[in-house]
Amino acid sequence: MKLTRFTPSFDLGRVADFDQWLRHPLTGFPAVGQLLGEFLPGAASGRLATDVYEDKDNYYARFELPGVKKEDVKVEVQDRLLTVSAERREKDGEKEQSYSLSRSVSVPENVKGDAIVAKLEDGILTVTLPKLEERKPKLIAVN
């Protein structure tokens, strides 16, 4: 009794991979997410892959954590370093397997450290890092 992967007629796996690499090259960015460790995204190797975004008010760091419960995620900020660690438990019949994943991302200076919030939804963790007020452009009304 077996389930095998169905491959339609040809496999474009390699081509598609390369394509993807072209679309999302590992562009360096100045402040958030100075990568620690190796440079390849490798969720399978125990290191979480991350996306970092910003808008006018916040920085956002996103991590994929499928199958991880809220209580098994730890988000810490210390010395301008945001660390996300997650414990994933999987039941395989009677046995329970668990493995941990973590990732650190450096936090820019203009972040309100005490106002960071994290939300886990549909297997995606979004950490919102609010920017300090001073750095926002102030609109002055002309009288």
94 sits near other proteins (criterion: CB under 8 A): no
Q: What is the DSSP string of 16-58?
A: HHHHHHHHS-----SSTTPPPS-SS--GGGTB--EEEEE-SSE
80 sits near other proteins (criterion: CB under 8 A): no
Burial of 33 (0-12, 13-18, 19+ CB in 10 A): buried
71 sits near other proteins (criterion: CB under 8 A): no
Phi, psi angle pair for 46, to nearest 5°: 90, 0
Give least dist CB 102 to other proteins, A.
Answer: 15
Phi, psi angle pair for 10, to nearest 5°: -145, 160
Site string for other proteins, 23-62 (x = CB under 8 A): -x-xxxx--xx-------x-xx----xxxxxxxx--xx-x
Q: How many CA atoms lie within 13 A of 84 on its CB side?
A: 30
89 sits near other proteins (criterion: CB under 8 A): no
Q: Which is nearer to other proteins, 68 or 84 (CB)?
A: 68
Summarize as ranges the residues that interact with other proteins (CB under 8 A).
Answer: 1-6, 8-13, 15-17, 19-20, 24, 26-29, 32-33, 41, 43-44, 49-56, 59-60, 62, 64-69, 90, 92-93, 120, 122-124
